[in-house]
Amino acid sequence: MPQLSDFEVVKVIGKGGFARVLEVRKRDTGLIYAMKVISKAFVVKKSKVPQILAEKRILARISHPFIVRLHSAFQSVSPAATGRSDIICS
């Protein structure tokens, strides 16, 4: 299972209502990914859990040249790592 420490942030690609999208480099392979970092507290507070789970399920199953493929999804294990608990998709 990947961890947040497996990735190095290259730059911020965009920001939304409850998520940030980062360009990251996987430390062991050097491969570049887009990583969506979602505030778990916000998702729970705003009752967006079903929406996030649906997005994860769809991205994990779909294969299309114009849609980003989901490589992994995980939660940060330590709120101290980012100042909060996050759900991370790359």
Query: Domains of the chain, with CATH numbers?
Result: 4-89 (3.30.200.20)
21-76 tens-digit pLDDT: 999 999 999 999 999 888 888 888 899 889 988 988 998 899 999 988 888 888 87
22-33 tens-digit pLDDT: 999 999 999 999
Asked whether 5 and 60 are in contact (CB, 8 A), the reply is no
Checking 50-56 for CB contacts under 8 A at 24+ apart, the result is 52/87, 56/89
pTM of the model: 0.78
Cα–Cα dist 76/83, whole Å: 10
